[in-house]
Amino acid sequence: EVKRSTEIQAARIQLPVVQDEQRIMEAIHNNLCVIISGETGSGKTTQVPQFLFEAGYGNPKSDNPGMIGITQPRRVAAVSMAQRVSAELGSLHKDAVAYQIRFEQNAKPGTAVKFMTDGVLLRELSTDFTLSRYSAIIIDEAHERNVNTDILIGVLSRVLKLRYDMSREQDPKVKPLKLIIMSATLRVTDFSMNSALFNTPPPVLNVDARQYPVSNHFNRRTPVNYLDEAYKKISKIHQRLPPGGILVFMTGQNEITNLCRRLRTAFPKKTKNGRLVKEEADASLKITANEAEIEVEDVDLGDDIIQEAFDIDNISDEEDDEIEEGFEEQTDEVNTGPLHVLPLYSLLPTAQQMKIFEAPPDNSRLCVIATNIAETSLTIPGIRYVVDCGRVKERHYTKDTGVQRFDVGWISKASADQRAGRAGRTGPGHCYRLYSSAVFESEFAQFSKAEILRMPIEGVVLQMKSMGIDTIANFPFPTPPDRNSLIDAEKLLHYLGAINSKGALTDLGRTMSVFPLAPRFAKMLVIGQQFDCLQYIIAIVAGLSVGDPFLSEHELGIEHELNNYEQTNDDADEDEVLKQMNQGDIEDNKRRRKEYYIAQRRFSGLDGSSDVLKMLSVICAYEFTNEKAEFCYKNFLRQKSMEEIHKLRQQLTHIVTINTPKLSSLKFDSKIGAPSAIQVKALKQMVTAGFIDQVVVREDLVAGFDASNSTSKVMSGNRKRVKITDIPYMRLNQYTFIKDTRFLSNRGGVDKSCIREPDVPVYIHPSSLLLSSDEMAGISEMPPFLVYNIIQQSSARHAGDDESRLRI
């Protein structure tokens, strides 16, 4: 029996979920899976585990002796919710509750209720597939649709069936497992109406929560510096508006500590004798990023606020005067009382996080500056005003290359409404949006997309393999990725050596799976630790994912007149432009093209035929120059790309050090010297290893090559020198046999099971270093094999056929 304090009891009675206890427990009793949706703050996370506990779940002497497990996407929530539930259960049972996050836990033999991150439960599944220690699993915050949660729901739908069948057939000691999926939004049909997951749709229980109206006040303009804007807005709310807590949404730790410092200076606490109190410095971090799985918001690198200006807010200066919405209740008196400013982010020590639940000191106003944690995971009491910067730090994946990066981007409209809703828990509230309604309408997506659809698919497959999930193509995803791309992803993982021919994870694959990157880059970073090449490989991966920093000839308007290709996505009226070019322009064009190639050659010192190493040289040289803009102008570089590469190198170094214990002391140093000859050779091999499925061979080297049958006219003639851009290469596939045995390694040669691709020739892109000294060459002087990053489709200007060109 549970004895709760009267104070706790009174607070519980207020929670909508508590009114629904009977309905919820009946549904759980009668079904293997139940979905509960309810507004944030309605009591789902703190109460539902207690309902189960009181019904005997987790009690070794009951019918359901296994533990109650609750998963959370974030560590902060796992730890603080465990503490809260422990406190609510009272002294008799407080030891029944524990939490477990990676590398840290306080579970003991008597634990009945265990809060954990979803990553922890996924790891447990790989060693105990039936989850034999549990009688119920609650998947919380399912609306967030992060990859771990989605995969967990898929796996658990299978575990439910298995446990049910086992309980009926073989072993009387095995009990069925109960699954409860909880969501803060009503959008649960991906789970409830998904027949791959559940044959019979599980019941969906909606918990009605009281929600008071919240008025939204948009900014007239969308300021680039939302930190300053937030500071102004908070000051004004505090000075002018009636009592009530303020909750501010920012994107990361740097912004939060900065804003806290400014607000504490502006509205300091006073002691009884009127002297200022110095805020205690933040205690040292309890959980360091090194010890735990990375959460997006942990990655804080320099200034978060790099945002482009928004032309969309078309407001003249006269219009932009003092009219500011949402201050109608404004008092004439100016409040100069203290502001009780509290930060809230994932790496803050737990004791400090928990301060948000305490009442602020008398006569002061509570002001919590939080990351996205406060959107649905934690409900802060007494909030009447919300200030929303409209941004969130997110993992983004570069299209094509799948490199992960951490960027600040717009939230969805649904998130904006969630954030606003935090102001309406205890009474009517106000939400101040630091962006215009025009930006909101045009830039914000309706909902955020399931993370699994935004991730590189090979990365998802590798992650699942590392969890021991072997049949990926038939896996019951809540939102399934394309089936063929899953099959292709498995093939690629096989070529990369991450899985064996039976589809099982290899040792290399296990090491690769630790890196939250596209597997080809993970492989490069793993093998790149040899020959002291890591810094170079990191720079190369950063460069490849941002894209070639050299302006293309095309962008410069200095395309070779004879180049008969054109990028498909370009303006159609380019022909017109060319026609109008007069002789002077053509001369000018020639001169600039020459300069362009000179610039290219300047960086060819490491290797005269490698565009990747040319890029590496540029990346290294850029860091040593003080005149960045001039350097870029002189060398035909995009400065924006160079800056992005710099930033990404820093992020990648961080990712490598976090995931490789022996490298934990590696520091990011942007200035690195030139690689040695051996390193250059190693780097070329490492890049090839990462792009092993993207190798081409010169057409004349393919067995069975017949010059008279070649699609390329240069191959049929007997000319000594031909245009480099006309020399055909063939992609390696299972039908490709190489004539010349010199090119076959003694380990059995080119993998004959390489990719299946149509048998059409591809050509070198004119931006390649291979063209920088001469546009003509003898066929046999050209490299027999090339590795490419992307194949660019282009429509031939004269021929009308599609041509494919290789680019780094």
> Using CB under 6 A as the criterion, which residues of the chain lie in contact with ligand ADP when the complex forms?
15, 38, 40-47, 84, 354, 357, 379, 381
Residue number, nearest CB to Mg ion: 45
Cβ of residue 249: shortest distance to ligand ADP, in angstroms?
16
297 vs 304, beta carbon nearer Mg ion:
297
The set of residues, in sequence order, having a beta carbon less than 8 Å from that of 5 and lying 6+ positions away, is 90
Nearest-approach distance from CB 57 to ligand ADP, in angstroms:
18
Among ligand ADP, Mg ion, none, the one that 46 touches (CB under a kind-dependent 5 to 8 A) is ligand ADP
Rounded CA-CA distance 394/379 in Å is: 21
- Residue placing its CB nearer to ligand ADP in the complex, 42 or 222: 42
- Helix, coil or strand: residue 748: coil
Residue 433, binding choice from Mg ion, ligand ADP, none, Cβ under 5 to 8 Å by partner class: none
Task: Report in angstroms how near the CB of residue 14 gets to ligand ADP at its nearest.
Answer: 8
Q: Which is nearer to ligand ADP, 180 or 714 (CB)?
A: 180
Q: Which does 637 bind (CB under 5 to 8 A by kind): ligand ADP, Mg ion, none?
A: none
Query: Looking at beta carbons only, is 45 or 463 nearer to Mg ion?
Result: 45
d(CA 750, CA 514): 29
How many residues are present in the chain? 808
43 binds, among Mg ion, ligand ADP, none (CB under 5 to 8 A by kind): ligand ADP
Q: Which is nearer to ligand ADP, 421 or 543 (CB)?
A: 421
Question: How far apart are CB 374 and Mg ion at their closest, in Å?
Answer: 11
- Given Mg ion, ligand ADP, none, residue 15, with its beta carbon under 5 to 8 Å by kind, binds ligand ADP
The residues that bridge with 795 in the sheet, in sequence order, are 566, 802
Cα distances (Å, whole numbers) of residue 255 to 126, 249, 370, 380, 752: 38, 10, 10, 20, 53
CB nearer ligand ADP, residue 93 or residue 163: 93
Q: Is 90 left (phi over 0), alpha (psi -120 to 50) or beta?
A: left
What is the size of the binding site for Mg ion (CB under 5 A)? 1
CA distance 462 to 541: 19
Taking CB under 5 A as the criterion, which residues in 225-244 touch Mg ion?
A: none
Report whether 371 contacts 248 (CB < 8 A).
no
Tokens 């490709």, residue?
A: 736
Kindly tell me which of 381 and 783 has the beta carbon lying closer to ligand ADP: 381
Question: Given the complex with Mg ion, which of 85 and 214 has the nearer CB atom?
Answer: 85
Rounded Cα gap, residues 232 and 281, in angstroms: 24
Single-letter amino acid, residue 11 = A
Q: Which residue from 45, 80, 83, 794 is in contact with Mg ion, where contact means CB under 5 A?
A: 45
The bridge status of strand 790-796 relative to strand 802-807 is antiparallel
> Cα separations (Å) of 529 from 276, 489, 524, 679?
53, 25, 9, 11
Q: Counting contacts by CB under 5 A, is residue 72 touching Mg ion?
A: no
Q: Which does 93 bind (CB under 5 to 8 A by kind): ligand ADP, Mg ion, none?
A: none
Q: Which residue shows structure tokens 């056929």? A: 801
Distance CA 528, CA 536 (A): 8
Residue 67 phi, psi dihedral angles, 5° rounding: -70, 165
| Min separation Cβ 93 and ligand ADP, Å | 17
* Residue found under tokens 């931006």: 767
Least distance from C-beta 596 to ligand ADP, angstroms? 58
Shortest Å, Cβ 16 to ligand ADP: 8
The residues facing 395 across adjacent strands are: 406
**In the complex, minimum distance from the CB of residue 44 to Mg ion, in angstroms, rounded to a whole number:** 5
Q: Which amino acid is at 95?
A: D
47/794 with CB nearer ligand ADP = 47
Farthest-apart Cα atoms in the chain, separation: 99
Stretch that binds Mg ion, among 38-46, 63-71, 309-317, 538-546 (CB under 5 A): 38-46
Q: How far is the CB of 295 from ligand ADP (least distance, A)?
A: 19
Q: Which spans of this chain sit near Mg ion (rule: CB under 5 A)?
A: 45
